[in-house]
Structure 1
Amino acid sequence: KKSVANQLKKIKQNPDWFLIEAENIYKAYLPKFPYKILYTLDKEKIIVWAIAHMHRKPWYWQSRMR
Structure 2
Amino acid sequence: MLGKIFGIICLVMGLILGSWIGYNLFIEALPATEGRSPVPAIGLTAVFFYVAYSRLKPQKLENS
Q: Which has the higher helix share?
A: 2
Max radius of gyration: which structure?
Answer: 2
Higher relative contact order (CA 8 A, sep 6+): 2
Task: Tell me which interval the TM-score lies in, with the shorter structure as reference length.
Answer: 0.3 to 0.5
Q: TM-score, normalised by structure 2?
A: 0.34
Q: Which has the higher strand share?
A: 1
